[in-house]
Chain A
């Protein structure tokens, strides 16, 4: 018990310094990437001038490639390529990131790839009649999108996006592999020093559980707020 109390401050500090900022920053950037990706991928290539149509086709190919790449390779491999691989490229191509930036980049791009599919599906789930109702009162495509479709799609995608967020919090433990001393690595260090792996790893697990539970509560209230217009809520 004493060990738990003694190690808790260090673990919590790692959580507040790395796990939470890493999760929150990556998630926000990831969602922005996801929305852009989803919008490009659902855009209608049959509409617009020749130039915009060409732009859409290229954009679609680019973002499809991105989603395919990041969904099809392990997170830890992406992290290693970025952090250990890129700095070793031959001279003019060398790219170096700090560990934290590398982690944010990889996590954001991962969230973006997965969440873009969630958001794309949510947008497509809104009925054609909603688009037409917007058009009929004179809205442009963009206005319908932002005033009518996205607010409804946001509600639909809230539960799966919360899942992504929880997944992300847990995945940040992988950042230990690129030298970031987040909660899991702190636990590991103390476990190595004290020979109490069972206690330490369970303690780390509980802290993750607490973080994710806080998120669950947040999701609950957000869902309640955004579902006011649904019958019986």
Chain B
């Protein structure tokens, strides 16, 4: 379970997260949506402490972090052990082959044996459909392939929570489809997922829970049915903008 209580995050004067409180249950897929600059990335990155809010309480299962206090290195590493992240621009390690990218964490963080790590990496590459690219370098892959490697790399650490920050925003529609296909295969029984996306069809399909952010506030936190079928006026406006309904001729 991920739980925030009155969390505030500032960038200098600018308040990026405004007293957020919510709870994300385990084994569910939460989708975070909202306009650009609304704080989606900041929120997601707070979950693995890449951003550290200044105020509020953060509970990750039985671990409770008070953001007002300095967070110890040990706590940070423990939180990151529980979470995996997939970035918008992949951020694969360019100097390592695909296989080595996936093995890097198991080998040098979990100190797994090489053979075991390699075997698991190969299984994951199979899952994301890239077995035949194991010895390629990231620069030799398309964006969609790189992002699928990034998913395998995150999963290799067996995180309890998988965090996706607009994983398909940098991709053409066809490549987006191949990444979404992989995301649909992921097992919610094993991982809880939090996904930031602009793809409403995908959100509708996978979300068990939707959070709508605007200017650092949560304007909606509830079921996809309510979000898409009974939207408030503000959400309706956002959804129309997403499908360009508001500007295209009728």
Contacts and interface: CB of A to CB of B under 8 A. Distances in A.
Interface of A: 127, 129-130, 132-133, 135-140, 143, 147-148, 151-152, 155, 228-231
B95 A152 contact: yes
A229 B104 contact: no
Interface of B: 48, 50, 73, 77, 80-81, 83-85, 87, 89, 91-96, 104-105, 108-110, 137-140, 153-154, 156-157
With a 10 A CB-CB cut-off, give which of A129, A133, A155, A231 has the most chain B CB atoms.
A133
B158 to A, nearest CB: 11
Given A136-B50, A229-B94, A129 B87 contact: yes
Nearest to B81: A138
Tell me whether chain A's interface is mostly helix, strand or loop, or mixed: helix
A140 B73 contact: yes
26 contacts: A129-B87, A129-B91, A130-B93, A132-B91, A133-B87, A135-B48, A135-B50, A136-B83, A136-B84, A136-B85, A136-B87, A136-B154, A137-B104, A137-B153, A138-B81, A138-B110, A139-B105, A139-B108, A139-B109, A143-B109, A148-B93, A151-B95, A229-B94, A229-B95, A229-B138, A230-B94
Contacts of B85: 132, 136
A135 B80 contact: yes
Contact of B137 (A133, A148, A229): A229
A132 B93 contact: no
> Top 10 nearest A-B pairs by Cβ distance?
A137-B105, A133-B91, A229-B137, A129-B91, A136-B85, A138-B109, A138-B80, A231-B139, A151-B95, A138-B81
Contact of A136 (B48, B108, B110, B140): B48
